[in-house]
Structure formats: C-alpha cells, structure tokens
Amino acid sequence: MIRLDKYLADMGVGTRQEVKKQIRQGRVCVNDNVVKSADLKINEELDLVSVDGNVITYTTMEYYILNKPGGVVSATEDAHDQTVVDLITDKKRKDLFPVGRLDKDTEGLLLITNDGALAHRLLSPKKHVDKIYYARVRGKVTEEDVESFRKGVNIGTAECEEWTRSGTLQILNSADVSEIRLTISEGKYHQVKRMFQAVQKEVLYLKREAMGPLYLDPDLQPGEYRSLTKEEIENVTKWNVK
C-alpha cells in the first residue's frame, strides 16, 4: 500500500505538492471515483488510478538498455549538457539513473534503471564484472600489447603506480589505425584510454558492447533505447557476479 500522492509523484505526474493540488482539484480518480484525499492508501496491483482520464500504472522498477551516443553525459542531470536519462523519453519513474559511467565521447551500452541493489552488485569494486569494448586506436596494436594487457599495465605514474587487472585484448585489425576488442573487469577512471596510453597509443573511438550478461542490441542506433526483455531482466538480476 502506498499514499496516493506518492504513487503519482513516483510515476512522474508531478512533485508531491503539484499532485496534491491536482487531487484537490478533483482531477484524480481511484477505481473511477473522484478522490480528494492525498493520503489515501493505494494498492499498486489492484487499484485503478487515473489523472484527467489517463490511467497511471504504477511501476516499481524500470530497466532500459541505451546505446549511448557521443556528446551526452552519464548523469541524471546536468546544467550544460544533455544527459543519458534525458534520452529516456517514455520513462514512468523519476528516479532513474545510469549504472556506471561512460565518458562523454564514448558510445555504447549503458543500463538505465532505478534498481539500486542491482547497480551496487554491478559496480562494487569488490566485484569483477566483465566489460567488453570495441575501439579504434592510433598505432599498430601488436601481440606484445596483447601480452602486456594480459599481465596488467601501469596506468599511473612512475611516482604513483596504478596497475590494472588482467585484460583480454583481441586484435581485429593492426594498422596505422588499429581495431581491437578489449575485455576488462574493472572500471577505473578513463581506464581503456589510459591502458592504451601506457603502450604509447591513442584511443580514437570507443564503444562499450557488453557489461556482465547484457549485450548491446545491434538494432539500436546511437541515442536509441528499449526496455529490457523479461529474460534480460531475469539474467541480470539473478546473475552471479564472480
């Protein structure tokens, strides 16, 4: 059971004060009856709630897979830039957030949800969640680089070393601009870019293709998103993080 004003506020109808005003104005119905009590207790599964004739279905958790485009920041709000949450235009809840961060110029898979417990499992430094990236890199990537990444590289400085865990580097094309796929199990600041800097190369383009059991939908263009399927939700919420 949940208060009517909280029910409506959670679903993005307005702030608590705004929905209380709508209730007082007689614009809200519960089971086809006009109600004017903001503290009326609602059964989220059984009661039918509407505002101005529009049914408002209560959703406890939302899960979206977004193909993040470049130029958008991984945040819930920003004073200057569009955020990844801004891109979810048909969201029902107002408490969505991105699980982890991708740099502003990085594209690819980003999970948007309000499931804090899941986010903690996927992001906790004590967990080691595999993340797969595709990148175009200035410079010829070599088998020596593959071995360096396997052993771990120092992405810090000579005075303050910061070594990465083992990563799996796959060379797709070695040329003046190489193409690679990299699997890592950490999320250090600018990690992929710093790993290549450590072997004297520069990441020109970066896209995340997978995180744990979630893979980027190839049908999603940059900026597009969709709700996770029931199977995907079960996979990610029940997934055993190593």
Tell me which residues are annotated as active site: 103
Residue type, 177: V
For residue 213, give every residue at least 6 positions away whose Cβ sits within 8 Å of its Cβ, in sequence order, or none. 232, 235, 236, 239
Q: How far apart are CA 142 and CA 104, in angstroms?
A: 28
Residue type, 38: A
CB atoms under 10 Å from CB of 135, counted, come to 24
Q: How far apart are CA 152 and CA 115, in angstroms?
A: 32
- Element housing 108 (H / E): strand 107-113
Judging by beta carbons within 10 Å of its beta carbon (0-12, 13-18, 19+), is residue 33 exposed, middle or buried? exposed
3-state secondary structure of 212: coil
Of 100, 129, 96, 102, give the one whose Cα is nearest residue 115.
96
Cβ contact 36:26 at 8 Å: yes
Q: What are phi and psi of 9, to 5 degrees?
A: -65, -40
Cβ contact 153:125 at 8 Å: no
3-state secondary structure of 113: strand
